[in-house]
Structure 1
């Protein structure tokens, strides 16, 4: 079968690989991927990997490179093991890709995303979404209704990151919010903040295309260019008594962005760290103390959030498809996918791959 596999930095190949065995374990689900998103994590692997893809057998899954990519995807159930009861053959599903023990310290507490042994479909598992077939566990599949499209179903995974950030920030009806960085996660966080009832949303983003996209997603969003605007000063001028926002969500993983969030939030407000930092950040800890703020850091998402987010999408509260800018074939995945996302002269947000 055809598959997109990561071998090393700048070495992603479309290859013919053996299909999964037709002999399934009791809790296995054989799926046929439909649409798969290229994630920032995939892009980091392409630029500088291996980072999270395993060079030696993964401690829990046993997977090693070359790795079939793809952890944001929708699929159709092609077969199921004897003990699988949550889906049937022919069902369309959204993939929750995290794989971890059910009986370690975190698993016993339902905190599966925090397991120190956690693996991920498409990153540290034998299979991924950029292939004709894959095998996952029954807990990795969530059925979607007919009113949710294949593209929307593929976008549930990154949307889960965004909704978790908004939840951790305690965003509620009437909240004032800053979204710092409008990549795919920032854009989805913008949508999630509005869905949660945020009344005033500021967006800090240096890229003009992405600021324009923010206005398309949430027309009354107040968009600022941090290379030209004093974002904290502007926010103080445009919030009640100059106190700042209730919640600031950092979505890019840069020191300057994190410090902008701390400077923009009100006293006893919350800063949510969602962007992944590739190196240590210097912060003004005294400012954090003087403002008595709470800093929430997030890792992935609670895996139990899939049904809730699917309902949000179905109800039109979370139009995740609006951040998708291209759909390409697997044969073009490097030139029109990874390289296109790295080309600063080309404006893309989320590129989807079909096999």
Structure 2
């Protein structure tokens, strides 16, 4: 079967690989439709291996070369002997985290912090950018007719965005600043709107990304290269600042702007992944009683909630997709384009199967 395989940094090959040999009793065999290229995938391609293990993973035994893909929708084509929650032919979205279930964090429902966590498409014997992949039954959630295959491939990044907003303590009627309008920032804006934000501000230096958010018609979009974002936000909120902020840029400037824009006793969540250390002013946290919280992935049980919100029409996740590309073009048309600082690509999906939706 054809698959996109990571071998080393700047070495991803679309090649023929052996299909899955067996389906365990609690596993399902899937035929992926669409798969997103995630920021984690980009980091692996540009700087890796980072997350992808070079020695057998402690939980799964997987190691490079690794089939990419952890944001995907698929159809069920075969069931393990003990599988009961899905049927052959079901369309599903995949929650890619694989956890031990027995460590300190898993036993407390914090499976996303599992000490030996693995991930489909990064540290598992398969991934979503392949014609077939085996996953655990507990990883799949059935998509209702109201959710398309494209939307199903966006449940994973949507869950990241939702968790980042939720961790601020956001409530209906709150004001929010989102720094960074990449895919997660854009989804954070859409989620905040669905959750009842009274006012949404988005700060983004890239003109293409600003245009995308402006097209949503739900946010006031700021250009930090020519505007003093905290000053503008305070001026537009009666001198107070926003109730909460989600920092989605993974950049020092975005973090500083978020901390300076939030009101006293407000909360900032760090959602974007920083690839280098950043600095903060701890005294400012104390003087203004600000809370800064980190976020990692999402609750593993959140798929049905996110799917239901998408199905309602209130969370149109498909709006963040700028293009769907063929798997054979994933390097030049996918990874290289997304890493181009002057590029116009936002969120790219890879068409793995033949889904028309």
- TM bucket normalised to smaller: over 0.9
Q: What is the DSSP-based 3-state SS (H/G/I as helix, E as strand, rest coil) of the residue aligned with 1:268?
A: strand
| Partner Cα separation in structure 1 for residue 267 and residue 105 of structure 2 | 25
Match of 2:323 in 1: 326
Q: CA deviation at 1:24?
A: 2.0
- The 8 Å contact of residues 106 and 114 in structure 2, kept in 1 or not, is answered as yes
Q: What is the DSSP-based 3-state SS (H/G/I as helix, E as strand, rest coil) of the residue aligned with 2:309?
A: helix
Match of 2:265 in 1: 268
Match of 2:355 in 1: none
| Partner Cα separation in structure 2 for residue 332 and residue 167 of structure 1 | 36
Match of 2:134 in 1: 135
Q: CA deviation at 1:220?
A: 4.2
Any unmatched runs of 5+ in structure 1? none
Match of 1:228 in 2: 226
Match of 2:296 in 1: 299
Trace 1:212-291 onto structure 2 (pairs within 5 A). Answer: 212-217=211-216, 219-240=217-238, 242-291=239-288
| Partner Cα separation in structure 1 for residue 151 and residue 23 of structure 2 | 28
Any unmatched runs of 5+ in structure 2? 353-357
| Partner Cα separation in structure 2 for residue 106 and residue 115 of structure 1 | 6
| Partner Cα separation in structure 2 for residue 59 and residue 3 of structure 1 | 24
Q: What is the DSSP-based 3-state SS (H/G/I as helix, E as strand, rest coil) of the residue aligned with 2:301?
A: helix
Match of 1:80 in 2: 79
| Partner Cα separation in structure 2 for residue 346 and residue 291 of structure 1 | 39
Which runs of structure 1 show a deviation greater than 4 angstroms over 4 or more consecutive aligned residues? none
Match of 1:168 in 2: 167
Match of 2:350 in 1: 353
| Partner Cα separation in structure 2 for residue 349 and residue 27 of structure 1 | 36
| TM-score normalised to structure 1 length | 0.97
| Match of residue 344, structure 1, among 341, 346, 353 | 341
Give the superposed CA RMSD. Answer: 0.9
Q: What is the DSSP-based 3-state SS (H/G/I as helix, E as strand, rest coil) of the residue aligned with 1:214?
A: helix
User: How many positions carry a matched residue from both structures?
Assistant: 352
Q: What is the DSSP-based 3-state SS (H/G/I as helix, E as strand, rest coil) of the residue aligned with 2:221?
A: strand
Match of 2:117 in 1: 118
| Partner Cα separation in structure 1 for residue 30 and residue 219 of structure 2 | 39
Match of 1:46 in 2: 45
| Partner Cα separation in structure 1 for residue 244 and residue 9 of structure 2 | 37
